[in-house]
Amino acid sequence: MTDKIFLTALRTECIVGIWDWERQVKQPVIIDLEMACDIRKAARTDHIDDTVDYKKVSKRLLSFVEESHFQLIETLTENIARIIVTEFAVSWVRVRLNKKGAIRNSQDVGIIIERTSADYAA
């Protein structure tokens, strides 16, 4: 399947980091998503219930990330992927998480992962 829904530059702040000061102050993170899903039914019916509702995805992720307190962006990114695949019935997801300003003299630093439904099968 080649259909993908994307969501780019979803910005929020959260507690993430290993240093004492990072555990006290929220830092900006930017999330980019690509989600594989079959959009043919939605294209035929023209109904939101037949596709991945990216507004619901963004609201769920914003709520989760803003309340999270992970030390590693690896852990945060993995949890984002798990939510997308398991809660929104997406067969494949690519998550790019950018922790702006984490490294002095660097514009960006982050993680890119890809996960499938098989990765979270019980």
Catalytic residue set: 99
C-alpha span between 75 and 54 (Å, rounded): 22
Which residues are CB-contacts of 92 (< 8 A; sequence separation ≥ 6)? 35, 36, 85, 114, 115, 116, 117
- In the chain, the amino acid numbered 92 is W
The residue among 7, 1, 26 whose CA lies nearest residue 83 is: 7
Q: Within a 13 Å sphere around the CA of 8, how many CA atoms are in the beta-carbon half?
A: 2
C-alpha span between 85 and 10 (Å, rounded): 18
